[in-house]
Amino acid sequence: MKINSPLEAYKYLPGTNCGECGEQTCMAFAAHLIDRSKDLTECTPILEDKFKKKYEELDALLAPEIREVEIGVGENVVKIGGDDVLYRHKLTFFNQNALAYDVWDTMDEKDLVERVKYIQDFKKFYVGNFLTVDMIAIRSTSDDPKKFAAAVKKVMETTDLPLVLCSFNPEVLRAGLEVAKDINPLLYAANKDNWKEIADLVLEYDVPVTLFAPDDLDLLKSMAKTFAEMGTEKLVLDPGTFPTGERLRKTFNNFIKVRRAGIEGDREIAYPIMAVPFTAWMAHDDPVSASYWETVVASVFTVKYGDIMILHSTEPYAMLPELHIRDTIYTDPRKPVTVDPGMYEVGEPTKDSPVLVTTNFALTYYTVESDISSNKIDCYLWAIDTEGIGVEAAVAGGQLTADKIKKGIEESGFDLKKDTSHNTIVLPGLAARLQGDVEDATGANVLIGPADSGRIPGWMEKNWPPEKK
């Protein structure tokens, strides 16, 4: 039975309040164990032999309901699963789902390399981070072990991304594993016909494997139980992904049933789930329709428990929605998305450039920064620490105040009188009521800018430079 309160975790800790974990008390450390912001091994006293039993018991009690599976090695290792809740708002989803885009072993070598490089290099800057792709899925369309091995080798020469090796032929998978055995690829897949041979491969090479039982949850659970009894829990479950009509609804329900059972304590089926939106290409002849429905299916199962996906379309209109919805769903609701507070230079500001104030809520900051930079406005942009809250709410809640703005100025080392020719701050329109307080606290002139950062260029034409007093 998993524990969910700091007090329950505290009972197993040494209780010395030694501070070696970085917290002042063991109770504070226990709270971090529950929200998984710290690891049990950071408590060095519990690693001593006299606490060995308590360590093992607590480690088991803290283990996530859904087992965590690692694919790949080194810096690019992908972790999937590891969740404790059905609904993100109850805690968070910890490991974002992995997106694997496909190549196949009958591709021309030049086309293969170009596609792998495109997948590897694809990225989109969004709210302070680059959205990227995680994995390459190599499909055996030739059913030829030698061709498959050659394709795996060429992909490995081109990228360090983790791999999914895709075939129902055990000999083809063995050929691929001989090449990729050192990088811990995921095998796809074991089914009711080949599971014995695939199990032998999994145990011999110690790699994770996907179990495939389309629309048969009893068989899926039976296979998972059998593989676990044989000695491996590096399992991913594929209950089948049907991309259209009534069977899509059935797929949706199957995903929910599998995840709910795992979260509610059925350890025999508590593994990461694979969705295969790629199947849209098998249901639609028109490439545009196939790509559209692939993205729809990927979006649905990003929301509902698809821990890893195999996809085909690499068009930006398909990839961007998939990456954006993943970023949204796997953002931790316990933590506002922030940028570091401080003074930022946009463009090449001089002493005559304006000093604009905003908050450190990432969406606010990057919206303002984008509106300024896209209009070629050189300025200083001050991100005040509002605990990741936007302007209007921060003013109302007291997170954006004159004292906070003054403190931000002092901590940045920026001197308005020396570093500018105008000693002027521009507040956002939604913070207009702070004007007098900021003038009193900082001794600077304060102008009120527009409420919408998209109107900053027009505001600048009318109000900048400020009149000298």
Based on the domain organization, do 10 and 113 belong to the same domain? no
Q: Please indicate, yes or no, whether residues 56 and 72 belong to a single structural domain of this protein.
A: no
Query: What's 72's domain CATH number?
Result: 3.20.20.20
390: annotated binding-site residue? yes
Domain enclosing residue 36, as ranges? 4-60
- Cα separation of 391 and 305, whole Å? 34
pTM for the full model?
0.85
CA distance 313 to 315: 6
21 known ligand binder: yes
Look at residues 220, 319, 218 and name the one whose alpha carbon lies nearest to residue 271.
220
SS3 readout for 83-123: CCCCCHHHCCCCCCCEEEEEEECCCCHHHHHHHHHHHHHCE
Per-residue confidence in pLDDT tens, the chain, 469 aa: 678 788 999 999 998 899 889 898 999 999 999 888 889 999 999 999 999 999 999 998 888 999 999 999 999 999 999 998 999 888 888 899 999 999 999 999 999 999 999 999 999 988 878 999 999 999 999 999 999 999 999 999 999 999 999 999 999 999 999 999 999 999 999 999 999 999 999 999 999 999 999 999 999 999 999 999 999 999 999 999 999 999 999 999 999 999 999 999 899 999 999 999 999 999 999 999 999 999 999 999 999 999 999 999 999 999 999 999 999 999 888 778 899 999 999 999 999 999 999 999 999 999 999 999 999 999 999 999 999 999 999 999 999 999 999 998 888 888 888 999 999 999 999 999 999 999 999 999 999 999 999 999 999 999 998 887 6
Tell me: is residue 26 an annotated ligand-binding position. Answer: yes
Residues 208 and 354 in one domain: no
Sign of CA dihedral 176, 190, 246, 304: negative
Question: Is position 442 annotated in a ligand binding site?
Answer: no
Residues 281 and 372 in one domain: no
- Measured CA angle at 113 (ends 107, 116), to 5 deg: 100
Indicate whether 333 belongs to any domain. no
Domain boundary among 268, 294, 328: 328
Residues 388, 398: Cα–Cα separation, whole Å = 13
Q: Which pLDDT value is given to residue 246?
A: 94
155 and 183 share a domain? yes
**Same domain (yes/no): 78, 118:** yes
Residue type, 269: I
Is residue 171 in a domain? yes
C-alpha span between 239 and 247 (Å, rounded): 12
Helix H segments across 211-346?
217-230, 245-263, 280-283, 287-303, 316-329
pLDDT score of 337: 86
Q: Are both 359 and 374 inside the same structural domain? A: yes
User: What is the model's pLDDT at position 36?
Assistant: 84
The Cα 464–Cα 79 span in angstroms is 51
Q: Assess contact for 165 and 139: CB atoms under 8 A.
A: no
Predicted pLDDT of residue 1: 62
**Residues 141 and 231 occupy one common structural domain:** yes
Ligand-binding annotation for 44, yes or no, is no
Whether 26 and 114 share a structural domain: no
By C-alpha distance, which of 432, 425, 338, 345 is closest to 385?
338
Residue 389 annotated as lining a ligand binding site: yes
Domain end call among 328, 349, 380:
328
CA distance 240 to 248: 10
Of 328, 358, 392, at which residue does a domain stop? 328
Residue 297 phi/psi, 5-degree rounding, is -65, -40
- CA–CA gap between residue 175 and residue 229 (Å, rounded): 26
Same domain, 120 and 56: no
Measured between alpha carbons, how far is 59 from 2 in angstroms, rounded to an integer?
A: 10
| Closest alpha carbon to 349 in 435, 414, 427 | 414
Same domain for 180 and 318, yes or no, is yes
Give the number of domains in the chain: 3
Would the annotation count 43 as a binding residue? yes
Pairwise CA distance, residues 451 & 358, whole Å: 11
358 among annotated binding-site residues: yes
- Buried/exposed 292-303: b ≥16 CB within 10 Å, e otherwise: bbbbebbbbbbe
Residues 14 and 146 both lie in one domain: no
